[in-house]
Chains A and B, each alone.
Chain A
Amino acid sequence: MTITQNDDPKISTDDDGTGPNHGEPVLRGKKRRRSAADFARQFLPPLILGAVIIGAWYYVSYGLLTQERRFLLRPPHEILQVGFLDWDHFSEILQALWSSTRVALIGLAISITIGFFLATIMSQTKIVERAIFPYMVMLQAIPILAIVPLIGFWWGYGTTSRIAVCVIISLFPIIVNTLFGLQSAERGLHDLFTLHHASRLTRLRKLMFPAARPAIFAGLRISAGLSVIGAIVGDYFFGQGAVGIGQLLKRYSSRLEGEELLAAVIMSSALGVTVFLFFGWLQNIAIGKWHESSGADS
């Protein structure tokens, strides 16, 4: 930032340090004042609904279920006590969660690598795109349960197979979104690069990939969520090696440990939400300043 727009230090100071000031300090200030009301409007409704759901939960646990059948739905405070506040149980869940997170991240990284590579060559050659696309759709259409036995045959019942499930489940959205993004640069911009004799690589680096970023991030968010699901499903079927959240869910359900089971479910959901929010945040950092969708979601 070599040239500052606003010379008045009183209004150009960016007191929250969130980033460069683009010369609209007055507007920003107004926005911040208004945001207290916005905050209430945004978070009050889900909080109220959450309270209603917990109330209904208590009603089912104590009002509808008899003592003997209460294990079907333990009341919330017992889940909190047994699943979260009992360190033995909670650390077991956290460890399993970490193991599954690692699998999901490795799977996602492999998907991103393969996905970017395939989408890039598909964007360069129409023939390759036509050749690959139908098989991508077929791969996507296979229910994951149907190929779990095959994956087990090929790669055993350990971590490799868990990762394979993640990759298979999360690859498609990355390829499709990246390819769509790479093809989204306007004709006029391509003409501009043609006029100035840009090489294929320059065009890819300076035009197609930057233009693809919004679509890439949309794909990443979908794939990251799917990868978490893949890690849990894979773990459920492949029991060798470190215990992940899938194995844990299986164990708790077979022992009818309702509190731990629900705690593990809640933590899996929390993992999914975290991954989703993380990629949303990353998206905002990467393209928030120029893309229309910035700030529209969190």
Chain B
Amino acid sequence: MTSAESALQSPEVGTPVLSFDHTQMTFPDGTEAVRDVSLNISRGEFVTIVGPSGCGKSTLLKIASGLLEATGGNVTVDRDRLGYVFQDATLLPWRTVLSNVELLAELHDIPKVERRQLALEAIETVGLSGFVNHYPRSLSGGMRMRASLARTLTLKPPVFLFDEPFGAVDEITREHLNDETQRLFQSEGFAGLFITHSIAEAVFMSTRVMVMSARPGRIVAEFDVPFEYPRKPELRFDPEFAALSGEISRELRGSHQ
């Protein structure tokens, strides 16, 4: 496991910051969730895994973050300041947006003044400055997700794991959040591993898309996404975008049979 320092001090694109090496996961009940997944993600990369529901995509993230222990293979990543965005916003309902965003810095013992500063910056980055004193229950689903993103940003994590974070919001909000995520990817320079079952979302944000098969989860195809950043919303209507999406979709359907 590399230390936090080395991860931060290796700005060159191409250094792997997260790697799965023949990762296996078989649950105690005998379900084989992940079979022999090998995958390297470097700084400057945004990798998305698409796959049918229940194919073990989320399991991979849980293994990467240490929430689950793999039954085989190796995972190398710096877990000290790992960014993890959950399916739900997982905000603490009794805290305002500001103090929710401060939470992780608090758990990492960052001094109060600095914590406040980091939180306000992150809140501004996701465009929630007008809502610092709101409680989560008065925010929309999309805004809660933004607060959740801001909370993760305060740690300036070198690696960002996204576990289908935008699955529960409506289409328009989702596209906005996709825009913002790729913008953040550009400005913050983290390495991203994103899980989704939306092909459009995957192609729009990623540098690389991996297709995962249904149980046991294996990586069956890999696509490089050639489009330049920053990507414009209109890209979604580009013929090349459609062609790539079509190819991925075919793979996905093939793997499902």
Contacts and interface: CB of A to CB of B under 8 A. Distances in A.
Contacts of B107: 193, 196-198, 202, 206
A211 B129 CA distance: 26
B133 A188 contact: no
A2 B132 contact: yes
Given A193-B107, A195-B65, A197-B107, A290 B135 contact: yes
B66 interface: yes
Interface string B107-150: 11000000000000000000001111111111000000000000
Interface string A165-194: 000000000000000000000101101111
Given A194-B67, A196-B104, A290-B137, A5 B130 contact: yes
A291 B94 CA distance: 7
B90 A1 contact: no
Contact of B92 (A189, A196, A202, A291): A189
Contacts of A213: 94
B166 interface: no
A290 B138 CA distance: 9
Contacts of B136: 290
Contacts of B94: 210-211, 213, 287, 290-291
Given A188-B90, A210-B94, A213-B94, A195 B133 contact: no
Contacts of A292: 137
Secondary structure class of chain B's binding surface, majority of residues:
loop
B207 to A, nearest CB: 25
**By CB atoms of chain B within 10 A, which of A20, A194, A287, A289 has the most?**
A289
Interface residues of A, number: 28
Contacts of A22: 133-134, 138
Interface string A187-221: 01101111111100010001100110100000000
Q: What's the interface size class on B, roughly?
A: 20 to 34
Given A193-B107, A196-B104, A290-B93, A188 B135 contact: no
Interface in A12-32: 20, 22
B84 interface: yes
B132 A3 contact: yes
B92 A210 contact: yes
B36 interface: no
Contacts of B84: 192, 195
A264 to B, nearest CB: 42
Given A210-B94, A290-B94, A192 B133 contact: no
Interface string B54-95: 000000000001110000000000000010101110101111
A251 to B, nearest CB: 48
A5 B133 contact: yes
Contacts of B82: 195
Interface string A125-151: 000000000000000000000000000
6 contacts: A20-B133, A189-B90, A191-B90, A192-B90, A195-B84, A206-B103
Interface of A: 1-3, 5, 20, 22, 186, 188-189, 191-198, 202, 206-207, 210-211, 213, 287, 289-292
Given A2-B132, A189-B90, A202-B107, 5 more contacts: A22-B133, A188-B88, A195-B67, A290-B137, A291-B93
